[in-house]
Chain A
């Protein structure tokens, strides 16, 4: 007897919704987990996945992907490939491993929530594949990073980072707990598959794969490309969910999409921006972060908004201006506070690198040049100590990243401005107006405490910078430092210097 083709049986067997006669549907799909809101329950029956797959097909494809990725890894393990990689590029991968490995595990839980509480059986079915994807991503990312621990202890943070109180980890947990862990199934589908995976994983998995190949890191490129093929499939849970939500509650749809886009843009400015525009060696950079954002994220996001009848977010102009500032300032912040991170951030501001930055970002010198020049002059005067921090950067109460977004004054000078809010008896500070707006509208939510909050409430002891490093779990062999000061300071040796701090004891 010939087997039926998948399309001849799948619609029937995946339709496992029925009318409940013994229990209240609310008991099975409670609102706080499912999140139907103003959408009538029956409307979700129209949910139709854009990409259909059966379980045997899924397993066969995934097996091939795994075999391919691990075959390359096994071959490269025997070569000297890792030793030949540039330190800046290695930093990009350490940042990725620590930031992503267990975020993928958090995504397992998000997919499982949709697999249980999604409001159509087609959606739940697709989420089952999604959670298997994410389980694979958590495993492959952890395993690939783990291989290098024997050569460099910073790779230990592949598995460790997400579980520490490092400020980068707190920021990521804050993002993903809101996006994936505490949200209901409908909001998860919009925030995670639609916004984060359809848009932003392109940045981390496509752009970085290109830079990885150019940098000679075939293993890493292979790993993230393997992951991206899964993302492309399970991210399609977003579209059908948005379509139904927009039809019944466009205001909620707009708010959830806007908020997720902003939160993702802030996080990727820290995670991907420095990797693309600084850590990747100049000769291997394919596109600037801004160019990649414009081509791969913004165009696609605007198309999605138009396709579903949504408007551009209220913060659109602030976001576009941020493309020239956010990730450069975050790079400078990561560099200054380098003892607080688990990779070695190279400054990458030699004359050639600065020329590239100015070509891509015409205002770069005006906004960041002086700061780097003073740092360079201190390094060249033998005073690296003057470039190290003795206090904390102020962390935004929404995105938990440093408040470091300068805007131009009428007199032409770029300054960081305070964006604050008095609420419930205390003052909150934000990196941007949009972060403040999101905090205000979501103020009933429980946010993670920022590192500043923890410091000021006595959770960090002793209350000094050493206490902060200890609280974040950073040990001397792991804490970051610039891997090659000379590489980016030698162009400026012996130039006249004024206005820097004297060396201690001089």
Chain B
């Protein structure tokens, strides 16, 4: 008998993403899991770039997916982000449209 488990029941699964951070010059590969929140995802993308090629700024970071800002507490699974999808991580700079 085959049992189909929901995404929530299966435990974290690896989700490779195509990501950009702020004004960095290149898209990069970032491996996250279905259980990571957007706050964690933003940090995982930023760690490759922030303060290394793009100057670190004292603002929160936001994840944009399909043109929409995702809440910081939302998980990859809940957001429906699939392997090989693109996400953009930016600083949430007051007064600047993202």
Contact = CB atoms under 8 A, between A and B. Distances in A.
Interface of A: 329, 332-333, 336, 367-368, 370-371, 373-375, 378, 386-387, 389-394, 402-404, 406, 411, 413-416, 418, 420, 426-427, 429, 452, 455-456, 498-501
A400 B5 CA distance: 37
B25 A406 contact: yes
A499 B52 contact: no
A413 B26 CA distance: 15
A378 B86 contact: no
Interface in B41-98: 47-48, 50-57, 82-86, 88, 96-97
B25 A386 contact: no
A432 B46 CA distance: 24
Given A375-B52, A416-B20, A499 B25 contact: no
Given A391-B30, A392-B29, A499 B86 contact: no
Contacts of B51: 374, 378, 386, 499-501
22 contacts: A329-B26, A332-B25, A332-B26, A336-B26, A371-B24, A371-B25, A371-B54, A375-B52, A378-B51, A386-B52, A390-B48, A394-B26, A403-B18, A404-B25, A414-B23, A418-B18, A418-B20, A420-B18, A427-B82, A427-B84, A456-B16, A456-B83
A418 B54 contact: no
In the A-B complex, list the 9 residue pairs whose CB atoms are closest, starting with the nearest.
Answer: A499-B55, A501-B51, A394-B27, A404-B26, A418-B86, A499-B56, A403-B27, A427-B84, A392-B29
A118 B13 CA distance: 53
A394 B51 CA distance: 20
Contact of A499 (B20, B26, B30, B57): B57
Contact of A391 (B29, B56, B57, B97): B29
A378 B27 CA distance: 21
Contacts of A414: 23
Given A391-B30, A392-B29, A393-B27, A415 B20 contact: yes
A391 B85 contact: no
B54 A370 contact: yes
- A interface, over-half SS: mixed
Contacts of A367: 25
A333 B25 CA distance: 8
A43 to B, nearest CB: 46
B30 A500 contact: no
A371 B27 contact: no
Nearest to A414: B23
Nearest to B45: A391
Given A387-B52, A498-B55, A501-B51, A426 B84 contact: yes
Contacts of B29: 391-394, 452, 455
A501 B46 CA distance: 11
A392 B31 CA distance: 11
Contacts of A387: 52
Contacts of A411: 96-97
Contacts of B55: 370, 373-374, 498-500
Given A406-B23, A498-B55, 6 more contacts: A336-B26, A393-B27, A411-B96, A418-B27, A427-B85, A427-B86
Contacts of B30: 391
Given A371-B53, A416-B20, A391 B27 contact: no
A391 B48 contact: yes
A420 B65 CA distance: 13
Which among B25, B51, B56, B82 has the highest number of chain A CB atoms within 10 Å?
A: B25
A329 B53 contact: no
Nearest to B26: A404
Contacts of A374: 51-55
